[in-house]
Structure 1
Amino acid sequence: MKIILREDVEKLGKAGEVVKVKDGFGRNYLIPRKLAVLANVRNMKALDHDRRTIETRAKKTLKTAEATAATLSAVSLILPAKVGEEGKLFGAITSRDIVEALGKAGVTVDRKAIQLADPIKQVGDYKVKIRVATDVLPEISVSVVPEA
């Protein structure tokens, strides 16, 4: 099935692109969530008309994402945690803990935007990437220290 994307969909395409997807994915996921419309003649003509709107919205989104990225790159978090022998943590520091610390620092970020491969289980300094937009990935520094 050919569809026209109305929003950017990760690993599929950007808004305004015509892509081919499996019928079930398009019919059951993309179209009901208004992420895409069917690529018929009427919608293709409407796409030509809406392209300018999509480009304007993408530019505005990119500007806000870059501003957020600049704010995030200046943030440095210090997370105290209970520590056992050899600097190992009791438990782990997860993306949820990082989101809470960022919230206390005055920056709101979605938990799913944090690119943390594995939970942090050792004391130390770490660089954590945060996906603000499709191509914008600022890094924040996270220091895990023993709790006093």
Structure 2
Amino acid sequence: MASSTALSLSWSSSPCWSHSFNGGTNETLKVSERRFNFEVVSQKKAKKLRKVILKEDVTDLGKQGQLLDVKAGFFRNFLLPTGKAQLMTPLLLKELKMEDERIEAEKQRVKEEAQQLAMVFQTVGAFKVKRKGGKGKLIFGSVTAQDLVDIIKSQLQKDIDKRLVSLPEIRETGEYIAELKLHPDVTARVKINERIEREKRVASCGED
């Protein structure tokens, strides 16, 4: 009957397993040092990085509000003491998400208000503008963006920035179309009815 062989395993000071067999010689089997070293180095590199959010623009790094992975030493020695970045935490990440949601909700509100105002302009018809003029259809001067926003203010009690107004050159009577860029995604089309204002208003009671 074959005699049994006892096997004992022990961890030596070097990264290897030492196998001792009774009645035989010691045999050493080394673990793959390359794989072991790679895992250790990878863990060290991961620990040396910090996820931060920039509190202001940093040259050659990123823009304010940007999330970045930076070396721990760079954050500790430069970004943190100069107040240029803040360490990202679960609580801060939650706060940033809530702020993003608030901003998106505000953007949507502004867009909806612009859409509602554009619908108002569609229902009011043409804004009548009167200018003094001579014979025929020619008027003195021209209708400006400021003229239009003043009329809108007086009739609708709405404040419109004249820089949002785009209108054709108006130097004679007739109907024209002006565009109001109320929002990047909303443009209102406004009708302008240009008429000549006569000197004797009393004699023209029948005029609209």
- TM-score between both structures, scaled by the size of structure 2: 0.47
**1:128 corresponds to:** 178
Q: Deviations over 1:103-130 (max 9, x none)?
A: 11123211111112x4411211001111
**2:51 corresponds to:** none
1:99 counterpart SS class: helix
Rounded to whole Å, the distance in 1 between the matches of 2:181 and 2:194 is 21
- For the pair 1:66 / 2:92, whether they are aligned, the reply is no
Structure 1 residue corresponding to 2:163, chosen from 71, 96, 112: 112
1:143 counterpart SS class: strand
Q: Deviations over 1:9-65 (max 9, x none)?
A: xxxxxxxxxxxxxx9xxxxxxxxxxxxx62543589676553212211111111111
Rounded to whole Å, the distance in 2 between the matches of 1:124 and 1:83 is 13
Structure 2 residue corresponding to 1:38, chosen from 64, 71, 91: 64
In the TM superposition, what is the alpha-carbon distance from 1:72 to its structure 2 partner? 1.8
**2:99 corresponds to:** 50
**1:139 corresponds to:** 189
In the TM superposition, what is the alpha-carbon distance from 1:139 to its structure 2 partner? 0.7
Rounded to whole Å, the distance in 2 between the matches of 1:69 and 1:54 is 23
For structure 2, the 5+ residue unaligned runs are 1-58, 68-84, 199-208
Rounded to whole Å, the distance in 2 between the matches of 1:51 and 1:104 is 37
Rounded to whole Å, the distance in 2 between the matches of 1:39 and 1:52 is 15
Q: Deviations over 1:50-91 (max 9, x none)?
A: 321221111111111111111122232111111124412211
**Segments ≥4 residues shifted beyond 4 Å:** 42-49
Superposed CA RMSD in Å reads 2.5
Superposed, 1:87-98 pairs within 5 Å as 87-98=137-148
**2:11 corresponds to:** none
RCO higher in 1 or 2 (8 Å CA, sep ≥ 6)?
1
- TM-score between both structures, scaled by the size of structure 1: 0.65
Contact kept? 1:95, 1:119, Cα under 8 Å: no
What amino acid does structure 2 have at the position aligned with 1:114? Answer: V
Structure (1 or 2) with the larger CA radius of gyration: 2
**2:133 corresponds to:** 83
2:182 counterpart SS class: coil
Contact kept? 1:122, 1:144, Cα under 8 Å: yes
Give the length in aligned residue pairs. 112
Rounded to whole Å, the distance in 1 between the matches of 2:159 and 2:99 is 31
